[in-house]
Chain A
Amino acid sequence: MNTNRPWWRPDGFYIYAVLYLTFIYLPVLFLPVFSFNNSKYIAFPLKGFTLKWYEAMVNNPPMLNALMNSIKIGLIVAILSTIFGLLAAKAVTRYRMPGRGPVVGFIMIPLVIPEIILGISLLILLSLADIPLSLLTVGFAHLLLCVPFSMLVLVSRMEGFDKSMEEAGLDLGENAWMTFWRVTFPIVLPGIIASLLLTFTISFDEFVLAFFLSSIEQTLPVYIWSSLRFPSKLPSTLALGATIFMASFIVVTFAEWIRRRGVRLDSTSGI
């Protein structure tokens, strides 16, 4: 593997990588282009630059309401599923339990079932039990979807560190709660942050479950779905998409900065 080629004579893999990135970026890059296009039709040729869709976005209460709903659900789901995932990850990595394999398999089922089936079976249960659809039912469905992801992330983080550090905490006279807070939590923190980000992202972008389980109060993807059918609403939806993209870019850059600090702390405090 001695490839110290100069950049102007790339090898096949490098060319492939660039082509691949073009494939995954190109379609997505046209979305913000049309959010600045002075026409309500999403078609070429472009009609000139405008910011009016961003103005329309700010003055669109239903869309902003849907955005707020999605943020609310995303935050609550991220926190709850990370707590659930943390407890479950601790259970399966720290204790010998009979039936561990089947139990973990059961918790992972939402990952291997098409979402539409998860959605309709919940819809049937809720309607037979006479529970009205609301943002709460959407949040509950998102929790089911997110807990397995959270657990996977946290299990891999908890498997990585030494159980004896927790035992040392207990031996030194801390109670279980303080041991968790002062020993386990700081070590698992990067996993917790990863889990929060991942589950928020999943919930925020989830459409199928929200489509079946929401009523009048929409989440953002449900709103976007409806706007895809009404061309006049589309450009301001694209403007919102571009704005969210920029916001997540900032968040991820920030998270990466935190992670790097974490890695540095890890390596300086290592024994």
Chain B
Amino acid sequence: MNNAVAPLGIRLGLRKLFLKSEPVRGYTLLSPTLLAMFLGLAMPLVVLFTLSFWLQEYLDFIRTFSLANYFEFFQKPIYVKLLLKSIRISGMVTIATVLLAYPMAYFIAFRVKRNKLIWLILITVPFWTSYLLRVFAWKIMLGYNGVINSGLKSLGFLTEPLAFLLYNPTSVVITLAHAWAAFAILPIYVSLEKIDRSLLEAGRDLGESAWMTFLRVTLPLSLPGVIAASLLVFIPTVGDYVTPSLVGGPRGIMIGNIIQSMFGQSQNWPMGAAISVMSMFTVAAMIGLFLWGTHSYRKRIA
């Protein structure tokens, strides 16, 4: 249509085709996004997969197919151990975050009558601080001369600061549960807010206790929000290396730290690619298992 020289008939014909065919119009509108996603997502993932079968030789790659990286992954216990530990830590983070967030979301959805938006904004305000600084804040909280130690000392409960608060898997879990709180509250809140209030009244009218109404009506209906929240927290935290390297210490490192070092100090990109591929498959399998579990739970109570 930008070709003014083309004969009128052809231009009208093309225009008609464009306006008539919904798929053509739809895909035209989608084309910038799809092109970007192809170049920046599909191709890199293919290249990552390919690289995991190559080997590193000094600064170059040996570009012949080899399973050596995958053999190494399973032979050296550190990789599998770290991957399992990362999944355990992220799983604990997810459970803690969702359990802590649910009552808060419930409170805003059902107990707050006016100014719900104010509460939602109140929840998101702390997350305007840089992620890195939020993680660092826990170093201030848990550190040797940090808030908790200094507070307990000045109250006379301690004579010497506690050194075990920071640099362990627990401090990683606390920090991540704090950093991702908003990602859990908002989806749960949305799913609770959607619940038809008359269903709850029906439950109560039929003689169920408040607790049974919650278990048999509210909780199942809010499950989509819980699932979304769990995935939103679990997926990014598995690969996180910022938090473990700031508050985890040697005992708190996760698989992300290893991947990062393969692309940094260790300079073994193919091995890093293989670890990434294995992590991706494991995470995908965990998500599949989780979704299957929640699905069968929903079918059982339906």
Contacts and interface: CB of A to CB of B under 8 A. Distances in A.
A and B part of one assembly: yes
Interface of A: 1, 3, 11, 13-14, 16-17, 20-21, 23-28, 30-31, 34, 41-45, 83-85, 87-88, 90-92, 94-98, 100, 103, 106-107, 109-110, 112-118, 120-125, 128, 140-141, 143-144, 147, 151, 201, 205, 207-208, 212, 220-221, 224-225, 228, 237-238, 241, 244-245, 248-249, 252, 256
Contact of A125 (B43, B129, B133, B139): B43
Given A121-B47, A125-B43, A30 B129 contact: no
A212 B280 CA distance: 18
Contacts of A207: 131-132, 242
B126 A28 contact: yes
30 contacts: A16-B107, A21-B123, A23-B181, A30-B147, A42-B139, A44-B146, A44-B149, A84-B33, A91-B30, A96-B22, A98-B23, A100-B26, A109-B37, A112-B231, A114-B239, A117-B239, A117-B279, A120-B272, A121-B44, A121-B48, A122-B44, A124-B44, A140-B40, A144-B36, A147-B33, A224-B130, A225-B242, A238-B133, A248-B128, A249-B128
A95 B40 CA distance: 26
B230 to A, nearest CB: 12
Given A28-B137, A114-B279, A44 B145 contact: yes
Contacts of A103: 30, 34
A27 B273 contact: no
Interface in B107-157: 107-108, 110-111, 117, 119, 121-123, 125-126, 128-134, 136-141, 143-147, 149-150
A114 B236 contact: yes
A17 B26 contact: no
Contacts of A91: 25-30
B291 to A, nearest CB: 12
A53 B133 CA distance: 16
B189 interface: no
A246 to B, nearest CB: 10
A143 B40 contact: yes
Contacts of B108: 17
B239 A28 contact: no
Binding site secondary structure of chain A:
helix
Contacts of A224: 130, 132-133
B37 A107 contact: yes
Nearest to A248: B128
A46 B132 CA distance: 23
Name the residue among B30, B146, B150, B283 with the largest chain A CB count within 10 angstroms. Answer: B30
B226 interface: no
Interface in B77-109: 100, 103-104, 106-108
Nearest to B28: A91
Interface string B224-237: 00000001000110
Contacts of B106: 13
Given A17-B104, A23-B178, A207-B131, A120 B273 contact: yes
Contacts of A109: 37, 41
B22 A97 contact: yes
B45 to A, nearest CB: 6
